[in-house]
Amino acid sequence: MAEYVNVEVADQIATILLARPKMNALNGQVQREIAEAARAADADPEVHAVILYGGERVFAAGADIKEMAGMTYADMATHSRTLQDCFTAVARVGKPVIAAVTGYALGGGCELALCADFRVAGESAKLGQPEIQLGIIPGAGGTQRLPRLIGPSRAKDLIYSGRHVPAAEALAIGLVDRVVPDAEVYQAARDWAATFTGGPTVALRAAKQAVDQGLEVDLDTGLEIERLQFAGLFATDDAKIGMGAFTEKSTPKFTGR
């Protein structure tokens, strides 16, 4: 049983809930529990979509600075790999993942949100990578996932300055996808996640892998990744169900196989 990260499953949606008082600081234990929760949600065939949520007050204010402050280079050389691996476990969940961002999503909190496919933020939310103000840089994907999402120039602005980005600006630059009233953040994420339930889960996984892996390679290699994923889906029951329903003008009932 995890101490700080809970997984709640209802209506084919898994909510990974951070619950470490007071600000969901991401110490080593929380990082490991996040990875375990992500792997569990990924492996559960009853889960069709995942929400990352820190509660009504805050998403995650960042790494546990007190824990990091005492580390040596040798300590961090080992810990940083574990840190990245834990967040990568979230990014590799083969299902739609939505971050429901309330309050602060700073440093590691912002990097965790970047691991999701989509981000819904409250109107008063603030996101950013303030590590430079500590004399360090983002170490859990911020220098890599952020420029891939919003472009290198805007990412450098956030990383070099360490400033907090308000929700409206985050929406304008593509750092978040939707902004809603603070009290509606989780429900908005849940409504979005519900659009994926009952869907062709094998095809959704293939689509996510094709997009994510394709972003890391040249166009020709990306097209080959897409071709193989596309062809492979013709071996699935869901493809037969979907195309059969189309020709019969009926609603498909996908099985996830």
User: Among all chains, which residue has been given the structure tokens 């890599």?
Assistant: 144
Evaluate whether 87 touches 115 at the Cβ level (below 8 Å): yes
Would you call 81 exposed, middle or buried from its count of C-beta atoms within 10 A (0-12, 13-18, 19+)?
Answer: exposed
Evaluate whether 140 touches 108 at the Cβ level (below 8 Å): yes
The residues that bridge with 8 in the sheet, in sequence order, are 15
Sheet containing strand 165-166, edge to edge, reads: 104-106, 126-128, 165-166
Residues in the chain: 257
Does residue 111 have an active-site annotation? Answer: yes
User: What are the b/e assignments for 239-255, b being 16+ CB within 10 Å?
Assistant: bebbeeeeeeeeebebe
Does residue 131 have an active-site annotation? Answer: yes
Q: How far apart are CA 10 and CA 82, in angstroms?
A: 30
- For the chain, the first-to-last Cα distance in angstroms comes to 30
> Of 131, 169, 224, 248, which residue is the catalytic one?
131
> Of 56, 111, 216, 248, which residue is the catalytic one?
111
Q: Give the residue numbers marked as catalytic.
A: 111, 131
